[in-house]
Amino acid sequence: MEILDGRQISLDIKEEIKKEVAGYIDKGVRAPHLVAILVGNDPASQTYVNSKDKSCKEVGITSSLYKYSKDITEKELLEVIDFINNDDEIDGLIVQLPLPKHISEEKIIQRINPAKDVDGFHPMNIGKMVLGLPTYISATPFGIIQLLERYNIDTQGKNCVVIGRSNIVGTPISILLSRKAKHGNATVTLCHSRTKDLKNICKNADIIIAAIGKPKFLTADMVKKGAVVIDVGIHRVKSDKTKSGFKLIGDVDFDEVSKKCSFITPVPRGVGPMTIVSLMQNTLKAYKKEVK
Ligand code: GUN
């Protein structure tokens, strides 16, 4: 069994981004600029946004964090987005999800200029992704594809099972893996809460993407010997073995599943850092105006 070391790959990619950004700055042009909007004080969202901010700074991307109270109105938030859309010195804009219930995530996402939508959540960018046109691929699916690519894991004709159909991960990764592309051409089964006989479907899989949001959901009896397992989950659970009293675990029962598979991502240090670095790559793409 080999660990898919998302942290190491993300460090390699960060070095590549850093060099490219330094090249622009040496020529006297401004650095790429990403704005993240955070509404309310959800601790997980704060952690994600802080990691994104830190990573941007490490590679020379200017990062601004716009924080608003949970009581901001939808209208006010839409006005902030309009303001950022019209600022030529801002390349990328992300609005951290989830938003408070009184704000429509759909309306907010649709207001972002698609050319600045480095999360790849705007319907126009999702449509382009489905058609295989140049666009921003959302960060987690993009990170997973890059991890497979950098470890030379062949997906051609493979049976691939995706568990979870979220707009952010399950649905886009199922489309990307089935596309006619070097790291696509897989036969994909997208499973969800209504799927019958999930265990047998998983047992036939060469590649499993677990993105269900339930700790240790994928157990060893669901996995074929030699399968590739990608764990998208991240859950903070109590532990008496760590100083903090907590540890992070994924959607996969790592200790048991890892004994059976050929490749597996750990949690932490697997998909998480790949997601962040993919956002940096999308920001660089926005800066270079590669997505119109
Ligand atoms: N919430 C959970 N994941 C994400 C993400 O990738 N982007 C944004 N904007 N919000 C999220």
pLDDT, tens only, 212-242: 999 999 999 999 999 999 999 999 999 999 9
Tell me if the domain spanning 139-272 has CATH number 3.40.50.720. Answer: yes
Q: What integer pLDDT is reported at residue 4 of this predicted model?
A: 98
Cβ neighbors of 15 (< 8 A, separation 6 or more) are none
Which two tokens mark 260? 């059976």
Which of 52, 116, 128, 216 is an active site residue? Answer: 52
The per-residue pLDDT for range 135-172, each reduced to its tens digit, is 999 999 999 999 999 999 999 999 999 999 999 999 99
Q: What integer pLDDT is reported at residue 212 of this predicted model?
A: 97
The per-residue pLDDT for range 66-81, each reduced to its tens digit, is 999 999 999 999 999 9
Secondary structure (3-state) at 163: strand
Give the pLDDT band (50/70/90) at residue 182: confident
Q: What integer pLDDT is reported at residue 6 of this predicted model?
A: 98
Whether the domain at 28-116 and the domain at 139-272 fall into the same CATH topology: yes
- Domain coordinates in residue numbering, the chain: 28-116, 139-272
Above pLDDT 90, what percent of the chain? Answer: 98
DSSP 205: -
Q: What integer pLDDT is reported at residue 290 of this predicted model?
A: 87
The per-residue pLDDT for range 272-290, each reduced to its tens digit, is 999 999 999 999 999 999 8
- Which atom of ligand 1 lies at the shortest distance from residue 279's CA? 6
* 3-state class percentages of the chain: helix first, strand second, coil last, to nearest 5: 40, 15, 40
Task: Read off the pLDDT of each residue in 240-268 and give the average, rounded to a whole number.
Answer: 96
Q: To the nearest whole number, what is the mean pLDDT of the chain?
A: 97
The per-residue pLDDT for range 121-141, each reduced to its tens digit, is 999 999 999 999 999 999 999
> In terms of Cα–Cα distance, which of 18, 286, 11, 250 is closest to 137?
286
Q: What integer pLDDT is reported at residue 66 of this predicted model?
A: 97
The tokens 């994600």 sit on which residue?
A: 48
CA of 108 to the centre of ligand 1 (A): 13
> Is pLDDT at 16 greater than 90 in this prediction?
yes
Q: What integer pLDDT is reported at residue 9 of this predicted model?
A: 98
- Which atom of ligand 1 lies at the shortest distance from residue 36's CA? 9
Query: Among this protein's residues, is 182 annotated catalytic?
Result: no
Tell me the C-alpha distance between 203 and 195, whole Å. Answer: 14
Q: What integer pLDDT is reported at residue 291 of this predicted model?
A: 81
CB atoms inside a 10 Å sphere around CB 213: 16
Is residue 137 within 8 A of residue 172, CB to CB? The reply is yes
Angstrom CA distances, 229 to 17, 76, 170, 249, stand at 27, 43, 14, 14
Secondary structure (3-state) at 209: strand
Q: What integer pLDDT is reported at residue 168 of this predicted model?
A: 95
Q: Among 35, 168, 235, 281, say which to mutate for ligand 1: greatest number of ligand atoms within 8 Å of CB.
A: 168
In degrees, rounded to 5, the angle at the alpha carbon of residue 150 between the alpha carbons of residues 138 and 275 is 30
Residue type, 166: S
Furthest C-alpha separation in the chain = 59
Q: What integer pLDDT is reported at residue 258 of this predicted model?
A: 98
CB atoms inside a 10 Å sphere around CB 96: 20
pTM for this model (two decimals): 0.96
Query: Among this protein's residues, is 119 annotated catalytic?
Result: yes
Give the pLDDT band (50/70/90) at residue 114: very high
> Is pLDDT at 292 greater than 80 in this prediction?
no
| Residue list, ligand 1 pocket, CB within 6 Å | 94-97, 119, 139, 168
CA of 262 to the centre of ligand 1 (A): 29
CA of 112 to the centre of ligand 1 (A): 14
Which of 5, 117, 119, 251 is an active site residue? Answer: 119
Query: Among this protein's residues, is 96 annotated catalytic?
Result: yes
- Which atom of ligand 1 lies at the shortest distance from residue 119's CA? 7
Question: Under CATH, which architecture does the 28-116 domain have?
Answer: 3-Layer(aba) Sandwich (3.40)
Cis, peptide link before residue 100, omega less than 30° from 0: no
